[in-house]
């Protein structure tokens, strides 16, 4: 993804304060002013590249806020996007560390209580595919699995490919999952595991991009990878059907493919000024086009 000189996109695995701390070290008046006018966004590692791309398009188009609307100041548009997981996005937004939070899961009622005046927007829908390496023979031997088989694989009850199907090699299955801070882990637990613990041997990966990379680099790996990541790495990741249903856009939209989740952005308070103008752009047809380009299903108007 191209990053313009007008937007700063920073992907972090810790805290957005690392970004703001770096910005505060700047000494020039122009940098300080840009910092004051900046929009800070943080949360889901699945959603971050999409929001960053939309932010890049927005800043390339307008460059300064007064070109967005004449009532706004003639200041350079600066947008920071950080990752850290859906849980981080909620925490950072409710604490005021970021202006916009991002999640790839529903926001809990207990979380909504901390932002009673906030606004929640649905950018689109994602699905968690059961992803394997294209070199894995399971794609030819057993391209469709049951939900129960998926559950047993991720629980460690089926630990070799041969145990899944006797025609497959007697090699260990390398299970890769998101860490507990990720929205994907919560969605997968709710829809597939239903409280059954993930295998202790499973590799816990800090971001969806890194999880996709693990599947791409290991012929025996299996993981629940976002449809967006699959689309962005075409030919490098393959997916299995579940209960005879492939994770196609049509099946996800219709609800036939069950392992799906919302892609949300939200604010602690009613957005105003620059923040509202950018959110309007995120939710516009231009934003919807980027959501679709990145491999997700955009929300209906």
pLDDT at 181: 75
Note the pLDDT of residue 36.
59
- The pLDDT assigned to 3 comes to 38
Q: What is the pLDDT of residue 300?
A: 83
Pairing type for strands 79-83 and 39-43 reads parallel
Collapse the DSSP code of 162 into the 3-class scheme (helix H, G, I; strand E, B; otherwise coil) and give the result: helix
pTM for this prediction: 0.84
Give dist(CA 104, CA 96) in Å, integer.
20
Cβ(213)–Cβ(184) below 8 Å: no
Place of tokens 């070109």: 67
As a whole number of angstroms, the distance between CA 47 and CA 293 comes to 13
**Buried (b) or exposed (e) across 252-284, using 16+ Cβ within 10 A?**
beeeebbbbbbbbbbbbeebeebeebbbebbbe
**CA dist., res. 23 & res. 27, Å (int):** 9
103: β partners: 264
Chunked in runs of 10, what are the mean pLDDT values of the chain (301 residues)? 40 35 35 64 96 97 97 96 94 97 96 96 97 98 98 98 98 95 91 96 95 97 96 96 96 95 97 97 97 94 71
């Amino acid at each position: 993804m191209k990053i313009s000189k007008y937007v700063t996109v920073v992907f972090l695995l810790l805290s957005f304060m690392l970004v703001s701390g770096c910005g505060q070290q700047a000494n020039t008046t122009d940098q300080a002013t840009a910092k004051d006018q900046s929009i800070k966004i943080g949360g889901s590692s699945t959603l971050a590249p999409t929001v960053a791309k939309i932010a890049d398009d927005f800043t390339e188009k307008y460059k300064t806020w007064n070109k967005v609307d004449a009532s706004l100041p003639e200041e350079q548009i600066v947008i920071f996007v950080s990752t850290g997981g859906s849980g981080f996005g909620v925490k950072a937004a409710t604490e005021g560390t970021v202006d916009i939070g991002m999640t790839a899961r529903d926001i809990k009622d207990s979380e909504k209580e901390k932002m009673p005046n906030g606004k929640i927007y649905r950018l689109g829908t994602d699905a968690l595919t059961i992803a394997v390496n294209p070199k894995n023979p399971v794609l030819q031997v057993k391209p469709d699995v049951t939900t129960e088989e998926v559950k047993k694989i991720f629980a460690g009850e089926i630990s070799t490919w041969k145990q899944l199907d006797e025609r497959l090699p007697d090699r260990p299955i390398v299970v890769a999952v998101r860490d507990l801070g990720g929205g994907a882990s919560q969605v997968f637990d709710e829809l597939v595991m239903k409280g059954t613990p993930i295998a202790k041997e499973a590799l816990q990966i800090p971001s969806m991009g890194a999880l996709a990379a693990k599947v791409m680099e290991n012929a025996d790996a299996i993981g629940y990878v976002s449809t967006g990541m699959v689309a962005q790495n075409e030919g490098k990741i393959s997916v299995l059907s579940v209960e005879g249903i492939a994770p196609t856009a049509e099946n996800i939209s219709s609800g036939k493919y069950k392992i799906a989740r919302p892609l949300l952005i939200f604010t602690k308070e009613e957005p105003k000024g620059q923040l509202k103008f950018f959110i309007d752009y995120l939710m516009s047809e231009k934003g919807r086009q980027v959501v679709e380009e990145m491999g997700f299903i955009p929300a209906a108007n």
